[in-house]
Structure formats: structure tokens, C-alpha cells
Amino acid sequence: MTARLDAANEITKQYMMASMSAGLIPIPIVDLIAVTGIQVKMLHSLTQQYDIPFSNNMSESVIGALLGGLIPTEATMSLVGSLSKLIPIGGTTLGMITMSLFSGASTYAVGKVFIQHFESGGTILTFEPSKVREYFKAEFEKGKEQAKQWQAGSAAA
């Protein structure tokens, strides 16, 4: 691995943890907005790492296109997780756990997809979400496992 790739993976890890924390915000929809902001900021950090021009509007669009391509049940999980926080006590707890997991996994996958794209010489302007859907889904599953491990580690601590 190159130093740049190592740094990019570390950026993804840091923003994944931040997204998991944002998923714990107890206010529905605010958590989704916070996670989106974190993912855009992660993409900005990755573009700086790869010396690629950054566009906030383009970044929001490509992240939205990636997340919209998730398996419908996974994409619905985030909305249900967020809205379940409206249910007192049990719903709030379940929603926070669900959103934390989804937020971490999706941020991990977004980071990994863009690292691969930037490593191959791509830019935000040349990014085509439809060409990376399967890779994104596979990385999302890896991200869920990583997030579960971190959640379990946090609960044990």
C-alpha cells in the first residue's frame, strides 16, 4: 500500500466513526442530515488527499446516487431507524442503534468506492455511480460488519 492509500483508509475510518456517532442523534431526520454532511466532508478530505478538485454540489449528488442504489431494504432501514426515534424509550434506543450501524456502513462504503475511483485516476466529475453499485453494496456489507464490531467494542468498554 502507498502512504496516500493508507492515509485515505484512515480518513474513511475516522469519518465512519463520526457517522456512527451522528447516527446516535436522538432527533429523527437530523441524524440523516448530519451523516450526509459528514460524508460530504469525508469526500472533501479524500479529494484533498488525492489533489482532486472538490465540488460540494457534485459531492452531494454522487453520494445521493450511491445511497439511492442500495438494496431498497437497506435504504429504507435508515429512514425507519431515524423515524423510530419518535417512539418513546424502546423506539429511540432501537433507532439510535440502527442508524448508527447504517451510518457507519454507508460512510465506509462511500469512502472505499471513492478511494478505488481516485486510485484509478478518476475525479468527482468522472464518477459514474451505476458502474460501482455492486462494489458499493459489497463494501456496505463489510462496513456493517466493521460497525457491529465497533458497537460491540463500545458496549463492552
How many structural domains are present in the chain? 1
Q: Is residue 61 part of a domain?
A: yes
Q: Is residue 57 part of a domain?
A: yes
Q: What nine digits make up the cell of 130?
A: 451505476
Q: Is residue 25 part of a domain?
A: yes
Within 13 Å and on the Cβ side, how many CA atoms surround 48?
Answer: 9
Q: Is residue 77 part of a domain?
A: yes
User: If 0-12 CB within 10 Å is exposed, 13-18 middle and 19+ buried, where does residue 61 land?
Assistant: middle
Q: CA 8 to CA 106: how far, in whole Å?
A: 16
CA distances from 113 to 15, 79, 106, 110, 132 (A): 14, 23, 11, 5, 7
The residue to which cell 489533489 is assigned = 51
pLDDT, position 68: 76
Q: CA 21 to CA 118: how far, in whole Å?
A: 27
Q: Is residue 146 part of a domain?
A: yes
Yes or no: say if 95 and 28 are a contact pair by the CB < 8 Å rule: yes
Q: What is the pLDDT along the chain (157 residues), one digit of tens a residue?
A: 699 999 999 999 999 999 999 988 887 778 888 999 999 999 999 999 999 999 888 888 888 888 876 655 555 555 555 555 555 665 566 667 778 898 999 999 999 999 999 999 999 999 999 899 999 999 999 999 999 888 777 655 5
Q: Is residue 87 part of a domain?
A: yes
pLDDT, position 7: 98
Q: Is residue 156 part of a domain?
A: no
pLDDT, position 51: 96
Q: Is residue 55 part of a domain?
A: yes
Element (H or E) spanning 39, and its range?
helix 30-49
Q: CA 28 to CA 97: how far, in whole Å?
A: 13
Range of the domain at 73: 3-150
